[in-house]
């Protein structure tokens, strides 16, 4: 990648991590969208996973006292086996259609909270919901790269306190990205060929996370709720428009 392209990735990584720290989500799709301008999807997704690992893990460390480990434990149970299944069939999925589906699903959940109750028929109730949710996220993460918008409303519903939601979601996403990294490495992806990009992107997200979490701690629950809904809506609409145009 050229120096200009590396700078654009760094800016997207910094802004994205700051947005995620404040609103609870959004940075991952912003970063992936930029990476896809310069890289093939099967290169962009594993690189995105490494940079997002740095972003989410740093956010989880800063907010470690607010992590709900019972949720994280359940979410992580089936990440690897589900991700392996996703890797095996990744080429069979139309990526654009899959991302549109994820975005529409996210809009449905955030604007019709009653829809979450409908999910209990398939996912179960309470903390048990996060076991099948982790399996779904692990499977879809490989071919589509991001599933955050679709699963974030479930975390928001179960963890209504802003810091608990952001911290727990960050830890869950950390494990999800770690699973992706392991699976792509096992499939032969050469991370060492992209060390400069990985170093720049990871450094940028650390700065963005530090800045964003400072703002998060000053927000009220009401403002966070509005920001969460706005960010999820804007991101989902962008995913739909981008997928249609491409």
Tokens of 149: 């918008």
Q: How many Å apart are CA 109 and CA 123, to the nearest integer?
A: 14
CA torsion through residues 222, 223, 226, 228, sign: negative
15-25 mean pLDDT: 74
The predicted model scores a pTM of: 0.77
Q: How many Å apart are CA 173 and CA 55, to the nearest integer?
A: 10
Q: Dump pLDDT digits (tens) for 192-237.
A: 888 888 998 899 988 888 888 888 778 787 787 777 777 778 777 8
Asked if residues 102 and 240 have their Cβ atoms less than 8 Å apart, the reply is: no
Q: Dump pLDDT digits (tens) for 146-204.
A: 677 778 878 888 887 888 888 999 999 899 888 888 888 887 888 888 888 899 889 99
The separation between the first and the last C-alpha atoms of the chain, rounded to the nearest angstrom, is 22
| Structure confidence at residue 88 (pLDDT) | 81
């Amino acid at each position: 990648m050229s120096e200009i392209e590396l700078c654009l990735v760094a800016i997207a990584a910094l802004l994205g991590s700051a947005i995620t720290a404040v609103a609870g989500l959004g940075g991952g799709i912003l970063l992936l969208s930029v990476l896809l301008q310069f890289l093939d999807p099967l290169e962009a997704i594993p690189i995105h996973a490494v940079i997002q690992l740095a972003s989410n893990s740093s956010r989880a460390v800063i907010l470690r006292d607010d992590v709900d480990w019972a949720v994280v434990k359940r979410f992580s149970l089936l990440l690897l086996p589900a991700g392996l299944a996703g890797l095996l069939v990744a080429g069979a999925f139309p990526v654009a259609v899959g991302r549109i589906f994820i975005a529409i699903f996210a809009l449905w959940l955030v604007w019709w909270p009653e829809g979450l109750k409908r999910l209990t028929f398939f996912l179960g109730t309470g903390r048990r919901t996060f076991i099948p949710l982790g399996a779904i996220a692990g499977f879809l993460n490989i071919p589509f790269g991001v599933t955050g918008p679709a699963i974030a409303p479930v975390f928001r519903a179960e963890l209504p306190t802003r810091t608990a939601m952001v911290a727990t979601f960050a830890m869950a996403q950390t494990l999800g990205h770690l699973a992706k990294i392991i699976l792509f490495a096992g499939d032969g992806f050469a991370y060492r060929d992209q060390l400069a990009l990985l170093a720049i992107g990871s450094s940028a997200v650390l700065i963005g996370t530090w800045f964003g979490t400072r703002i998060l701690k000053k927000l009220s629950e009401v403002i966070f709720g509005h920001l969460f809904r706005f960010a999820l809506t804007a991101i989902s609409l962008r995913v739909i428009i981008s997928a249609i145009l491409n």
